[in-house]
Chains A and B, each alone.
Chain A
């Protein structure tokens, strides 16, 4: 991004209304360009929300942290670490520092500085998410080795930085910009601007400042990870046409020059293990597909794929059925096929599906393809619920396919459901549910980490986490309700439930628990209709009032259906 464009975008952000998104910038050099670029990139990601970026004290990275105590609450802190923050001799604005006799103790200086920084970051991350950029500029020509030879002292310095990164990356709510990703978007030789460094202590070239800030903005406001991949088979999951070459004719082996398909399978298998749903949409004979997917040497396991839509209809129809089985929106899904025609057909029917062409016979394009696919599903942490997802989706189809003639009540009475309610023990999963659930969602509001932490500190605040299991298996943590306990009323401002838990009357059980525990006469809901929260709206409408912002206990008792689950409550 050009600086002129960044200045314009930053100004545009200032005209946005409402509660601003506030970011503190800590860096040891002049922060002006970083401030502008970070604001611009965040504005590009946050859209209508005003962005405020405030720099800390200039001149000393560690002192910049001290300024945080005097500033208002922030949603995020961005920390830009450079070599000169570890020791001024590693920069260009001082002299008498590069001589071998004076350089020998530089690692001894850097190590305690990094330890100080680690402690500051750890302390800060208890209150607000912290985003770090490790030193990304070239080291000065201070080391004595011949051209091209790595210097021992330089390796020691880098070792200290990596040890710092390893320690800090393990701290909850700390994220570090991936140096390899930064290398791919900012050319190393183009990063340092000596002219600007000398005249104004701006060591980053404009291109590098923009690239770094873009990655920090991406960490602060990541894209919602996709939930599922629907893949074609022929010349995509494997090389060859199943209908022509038969089960033994298709390949993904190195010696048959088809290893790119094995790598694709490997990535899919890896994604499946973190809860990404995998489905197949193929124009093939279904029996033949079952045989092919049962081949023992397939890199991905057949069990990791559900559902498999094989037949001769259009791909978009197959995708429609898969979306229904998964109960997710088209915008949560990636479709991979080698055929531009099939991709175009699906894209026309489902413009929100992210379509990707498998680079068949183009090994050079494969690493980029695989990295992009991985990025679309990037997650900070993997929860138990992610691992349970596929099994629970299979279970959901059992729910849909209950015995002919069996009523909903008969079915629910037979499934041995158990609901576990836990008060005031919020976890990563609760935060994730709030920020990804669309359908059963009270108001569609998303919340950032800092706001979530602040909410947890509010007096009279309760957080209820809901887990579920039945005879088909566990669903894990599937719902969160949060609110404030007022006089004789509950104010609920967060209520989300995973779509995997629909049709089990869990929401009624939760409401029953809230009325009983707090002895409330009514529950006031901070309800907002969104494009997608129809299921929540239908739930509230079941109580017969046109006022969707309140449910009275009398209305609940009158309309609540029979509940079958065994409920246990924990503090």
Chain B
């Protein structure tokens, strides 16, 4: 299940941040990806909401600093494993 969530989240990252090579997605962070700006975060948050059918609060944007942080955030939402 965890791997499934990771794969789906990786897909979101690849769509929002296409400059990140697929192999580097899981280690991506706002410090290592120059293209990860505020607009990238806006798109990424919407993609994550859509993919996992969750509603993110304003403070959730603070988690959007690395793949791992976003993964933790998604896992904290109970219905995150629901296939969209």
Contact B42 A32 (CB under 8 A): yes
Interface of chain A: mostly helix, strand, loop or mixed: helix
The yes or no answer to A86 lying at the interface (CB within 8 A) is no
Total count of chain B residues near the partner, CB < 8 A:
20
> 26 A-B pairs, CB-CB below 8 angstroms?
A2-B50, A3-B43, A3-B46, A3-B47, A3-B50, A4-B11, A4-B12, A4-B15, A4-B47, A4-B50, A7-B43, A7-B47, A32-B39, A32-B42, A32-B43, A33-B43, A195-B55, A196-B49, A198-B58, A199-B57, A199-B58, A199-B61, A200-B61, A202-B42, A202-B46, A206-B49
For the complex formed, measure the closest distance between the CB of B77 and the CB atoms of chain A, giving whole angstroms.
13
In chain A, what residue has the closest Cβ to B43? A32
Residues of B whose CB lies within 8 Å of any CB of A are 11-12, 15-16, 18, 39, 42-43, 45-47, 49-51, 55-58, 60-61
| Chain B contacts for A199, CB-based, 8 A | 45, 56-58, 60-61
Interface of chain B: mostly helix, strand, loop or mixed: helix
For the complex formed, measure the closest distance between the CB of B73 and the CB atoms of chain A, giving whole angstroms.
13
Size category of the binding interface on chain A? 10 to 19
Known contacts A195-B57, A195-B58: does B15 contact A7 (CB below 8 Å)? Answer: yes
| Chain A contacts for B58, CB-based, 8 A | 195, 198-199
Instruction: A4-B11, A4-B50, A4-B51 are known; give 7 further A-B pairs, CB within 8 A.
Output: A2-B50, A33-B43, A33-B46, A36-B43, A195-B56, A199-B57, A202-B46
The yes or no answer to A545 lying at the interface (CB within 8 A) is no
Per-position 1/0 for A179-198, Cβ under 8 A of B: 00000000000000001101
A-B contact count (CB 8 A): 46
Per-position 1/0 for A330-350, Cβ under 8 A of B: 000000000000000000000
Per-position 1/0 for A186-221, Cβ under 8 A of B: 000000000110111010001000000000000000
| Chain A contacts for B42, CB-based, 8 A | 30, 32, 200, 202
Residues of A whose CB lies within 8 Å of any CB of B are 2-4, 7-8, 11, 30, 32-33, 36, 195-196, 198-200, 202, 206
In chain B, what residue has the closest Cβ to A193? B55
A196 to B49, CA, bound (A): 10
For the complex formed, measure the closest distance between the CB of B53 and the CB atoms of chain A, giving whole angstroms.
11
| Chain A contacts for B47, CB-based, 8 A | 3-4, 7
A422 to B15, CA, bound (A): 54
In chain B, what residue has the closest Cβ to A33? B46
| Chain B contacts for A3, CB-based, 8 A | 43, 46-47, 50
| Chain B contacts for A200, CB-based, 8 A | 42, 45, 61
For the complex formed, measure the closest distance between the CB of A177 and the CB atoms of chain B, giving whole angstroms.
22
B18, B39, B46: which contacts A196 (Cβ < 8 A)? B46
